Amino acid sequence: MRHRSALQIVSFVMFVLCGLGAFASAVAAGGPLTLDLRERLETLSGHEVLPVIVVLKEAPGLRAMAGDLDTAALSRAQDALLRAVRGSVPRYRYTRIPALAMDVSRVDIQTLSGLASVARIEYDAPVHAFMDTAAQWSGVTAARQMYGLDGEGVTVAVIDTGIDAGHAAFGDRVTAFCDLVGDDTGASAYDDNGHGTHCAGIIAGAGDENGANAGIAPAAELVGVKVLDSRGSGSMSTVIAGIEWCIERKQELGIDIISLSLGSTGSSDGTDATCLAANAAVSAGIVTVVAAGNSGPASSTIGSPGAAEEVITVGAMGDPGEGGFFLADFSSRGPTADQRVKPDIAAPGVNIMAPLANSPAGYIAHSGTSMATPFVAGTAALLLQGDPALTPQGMKAVLAANAQFWGPAGNDNEVGAGRLDGLQTISKTMDGYPAPPLEGAPYHLGVTDTLSGWNWFASATDKRDEWTFDVYDTSQPIAVTLIIEAWHPILLVFPSHDYNLSLLDPDGTEVASSAKWSSRQETVTFAPTVIGTYTIRVDARKGSGAYTLDVSALTSNLALIGG
């Protein structure tokens, strides 16, 4: 996932990436091999082996009861499969989904694909790892103060690169640790990369000696599950093993929530093994929060396990401390490969300050949906402290029902239900009615319109829309986001559309502009110094069609009027 250092020392990507690029879930007609595996087989020599995940069909007797696999029947089915490919030793025999992970040859794959018990064979793709103003303007700070919530009594499992339990932000609240990379389940908690520590701190860090940069639920307990190595790399099979480890220890360790800031690129239909495992965690009663990914702003960029139907999939937004509320351009978008709406919600994920691993008390800022995901997981911990009876399904529903509307009407594939509103969500959960609006927060309006675009006969005004809005207070920044709905690449390089965005102050002077040639999204932010009427210009340089415009500003009766 994408991260940006506050010290600008290094910029690197930490969201889990699939080595092939697109993680295709489609299975060829008449065969169980997924597209990515077929592509790998084309270059596989006769003696080489490939890591795969084999998913079994749920034959009669395999599922003993709704939501639970008959482990004895599953073990027999796995044994029968292994007998068909003698000599292959499984790396993982799963117990919560009908699958196992193993290394197999081309001949083995041919044998497996002919078995009636096999539903699909997936390539075990390699993966890599994908605060104060954010908490304030999402309403979380006010809700904590209003209801005395801090996450106490709630346990969150962070499946990632580990947790540096020695950081001052965690005290003694890292209560358990599993190292699936070093195969040492008794290891002391550690993090040789830093990604997991940063995510854990957003959830439950206590902050520095003055309480600054505290996590969302600073009294919650943490369980670290290390599935990624020092480079932030791992495999989908290990991620599944980490999820199953949490499910099997839910009662023993009191695991209430799983936070997964990792996943594949491309577009998943939610039926792959990793999505099945994430859904199994929800079925086991664990709130499961997953990063959407950092492959935006293009459509259909949510991979696995973000495409899992039952999980809470999180996109990333900026907050007023970062120039206003705006959808981060890197945040992955839906729909899923089977055309479902994802993500489910968006949360702060731009320049989020959290603990720096392997430093006694250091902090660093990173950006990405990896940061937005633990933000939602921490909010879920506050909600569970306030209402322990909330089910995973109830949690997902209450977060969506109280999100601040963003974009066009209804759930959409940019931000799902909208922007996380911690204050209203917690207030309605605790009291059954909304809290007063957060004082000083910017207003928002989203509109949709069309432009005719460039042609030989179009005048400048034919290619331009103008919108105006009034700013009555300069204490909050202005953020304007333009998304071109039908944008797509042509021949993988050339954009189908090119719309430019600019902001003019009350004197008609351009104060901000964005003119990316090959992007589906343009965003401008500006700190106003004078009140008055501001103008937004949308200019079509190429293509035609619909666009959405989102404005965040401190206004009275915000209204956009077509020019």
* Catalytic sites, residue numbers: 160, 195, 370
Strand pairing category for 255-260 and 287-291? parallel
Enumerate the β-bridge partners of residue 233: 128
Backbone angles phi, psi at 94, to 5 degrees: -80, 150
* Residue 412, both tokens: 């959409």
- In eight-state DSSP terms, residue 356 is P
Share of the chain residues as helix, strand and coil, in percent rounded to the nearest 5: 20, 30, 50
As a whole number of angstroms, the distance between CA 274 and CA 264 comes to 10
CA–CA separation, 371 and 317 (whole Å) = 10
CA 479 from chain centre, in angstroms, equals 22
- Name the amino acid, one letter, at 475: S
* Rounded Cα distance, 445 and 147, in Å: 30
Largest CA distance in the chain: 78
> Phi-psi category of 386—alpha, beta or left, where left has phi over 0 and alpha has psi -120 to 50?
alpha
Q: What is the C-alpha to C-alpha distance for residues 367 and 364, in angstroms, rounded to an integer?
A: 10
Rg (C-alpha) for the chain, rounded Å, is 24
Q: Can you read off the two tokens belonging to residue 387?
A: 């209402």
370 alpha-carbon distance from chain centroid: 6
Task: Name the β-bridge partners of 468.
Answer: 535
Residue type, 34: T
Alpha helix (H) ranges present in 387-421? 392-401
Residue 360, preceding peptide bond in cis (omega within 30° of 0): no
The C-alpha atoms of residue 181 and residue 238 are separated, in whole angstroms, by 8
Q: How far apart are CA 27 and CA 69, in angstroms?
A: 24
